[in-house]
């Protein structure tokens, strides 16, 4: 067909052109996969390079933050470098009965280890600075882990030149890079103590408890007592403005036990993942314990609410996973006002005067006081 198209003057030149043209088809049929592997490897290689820059930036930000909060002349570099590869070995899931306490224990140990490490790196930092430094180091560890894993697959793919090895990582590369980018922005937020998207629940609680005296109830969780139309409100959130999520599950449990189970309702406010296409900062409500993480806190809340048959309501502020670790946007901040109104409406409609209601603002409280 092609021959007939060019075929008017069948000189050497046009024949050669046809041979090259048809030859390239054969070439791509045989070497197409190699070529594709090569192209993907290049993409992943670029991503690895970018991840490395992000990791290095995060590392130097962790070091400079540590130096900034530590007045004494200690060099934090070696300790931070050691700590960047910190890992946790999750408990075995073969025997699921009793796995939650194992998780809880592990998380407690890990948390204490982080706090001790920060204490060694910057012994003179105040509590807010120490918590924020902990956040910075945690994000740096996360970025380092992403870099190491992608680099591993990149090198493995390069070594084997196998399309299937390298495609495993390329398929998820877009989401991974988006997450890494969010992390590398978030680390700045932790270093400066700015609120992040995940703190939406903490802001709602802070708005309800501002100006009221508060006390500590469980690890890094504070509670304040206020009134709303004759109902007694016990409002709890993580103690800000340093970076922490605290242990709200323990706090809720303790409050319910202090009230001898006479709690009419628990309302939890948290930031939650939106679906693609949904507006961020939108507010929805539902039933159940609105709290993320591995599930230890959720388990505690579910157990205690079942024991005393207390209804648990959830109000969520929608945001993407990327937004939840990035500095809080205006839409999400505006969403907290809508969420606040929703919480009040749920309490007014679902309880009577004289009832006790627990309101828990869940999320990282970095940059959010009370």
Residues that bind other proteins (CB under 8 A): 5-6, 8, 45-46, 48-50, 52-53, 177, 181, 184-185, 188, 192-195, 203, 206, 210, 240-241, 326-330, 332-333, 367-370
Query: Closest separation between CB of residue 361 and other proteins, Å?
Result: 12
How many alpha carbons fall within 13 Å on the CB side of residue 288? 9
Nearest CB to other proteins, comparing residues 100 and 177: 177
Nearest CB to other proteins, comparing residues 230 and 369: 369
Question: What 8-state DSSP symbol labels residue 90?
Answer: P
Query: Closest separation between CB of residue 107 and other proteins, Å?
Result: 26
Rg value, the chain, Cα? 27
Phi, psi of 6 (to 5 degrees): -90, -10
Question: What 8-state DSSP symbol labels residue 357?
Answer: E
Nearest CB to other proteins, comparing residues 99 and 338: 338
52-90 burial: b if 16+ Cβ within 10 Å, else e: bebbeebbebbbebbbebbeeeeebeebbeebbeeeeee
Nearest CB to other proteins, comparing residues 192 and 257: 192
Nearest CB to other proteins, comparing residues 8 and 227: 8
Helix (H, G, I), strand (E, B) or coil at 364: coil
Nearest to 265 by CA among 350, 364, 179, 139: 350
Query: Closest separation between CB of residue 305 and other proteins, Å?
Result: 29
Nearest CB to other proteins, comparing residues 188 and 219: 188
* 355 contacts 264 by C-beta, under 8 angstroms: yes
């Amino acid at each position: 067909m092609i021959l007939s198209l060019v075929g008017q003057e069948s000189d050497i030149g046009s024949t050669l052109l046809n041979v090259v043209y048809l030859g390239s088809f054969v070439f791509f049929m045989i070497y197409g996969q190699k070529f594709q592997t090569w192209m993907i490897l290049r993409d992943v290689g670029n991503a690895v390079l970018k991840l490395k820059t992000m990791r290095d930036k995060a590392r130097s930000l962790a070091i400079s933050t540590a130096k900034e909060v530590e007045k004494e002349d200690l060099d934090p570099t070696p300790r931070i470098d050691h700590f960047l590869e910190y890992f946790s070995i999750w408990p075995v899931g073969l025997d699921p009965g009793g796995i939650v306490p194992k998780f809880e224990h592990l998380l407690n140990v890990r948390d204490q280890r982080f706090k001790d490490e920060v204490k060694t790196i910057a012994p003179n930092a105040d509590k807010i600075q120490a918590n924020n430094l902990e956040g910075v180091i945690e994000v740096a560890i996360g970025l380092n882990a992403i870099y190491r894993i992608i680099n591993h697959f990149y090198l493995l793919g390069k070594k084997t030149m196998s399309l299937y090895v390298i495609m495993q990582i390329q398929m998820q590369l877009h989401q991974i890079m988006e997450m890494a980018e969010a992390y590398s922005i978030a680390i700045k937020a932790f270093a400066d103590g700015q609120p992040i998207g995940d703190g939406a629940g903490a802001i709602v609680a802070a708005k309800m408890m501002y100006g009221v005296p508060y006390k500590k109830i469980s690890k890094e969780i504070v509670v304040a007592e206020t009134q709303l139309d004759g109902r007694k409100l016990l409002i709890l959130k993580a103690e800000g403005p340093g970076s922490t999520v605290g242990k709200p599950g323990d706090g809720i449990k303790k409050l319910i036990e202090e009230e001898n189970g006479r709690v009419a309702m628990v309302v939890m406010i948290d930031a939650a993942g939106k679906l693609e296409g949904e507006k961020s900062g939108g507010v929805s409500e539902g039933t159940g314990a609105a709290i993320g993480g591995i599930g230890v806190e959720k388990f505690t809340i579910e157990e205690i609410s079942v024991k005393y048959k207390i209804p648990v309501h959830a109000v969520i502020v929608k945001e993407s996973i990327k937004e939840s670790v990035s500095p809080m946007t205006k839409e999400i901040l505006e969403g907290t006002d809508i969420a606040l109104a929703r919480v009040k409406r749920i309490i007014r409609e679902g309880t009577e005067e004289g009832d006790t209601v627990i309101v828990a603002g869940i999320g990282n409280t970095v940059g959010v006081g009370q």
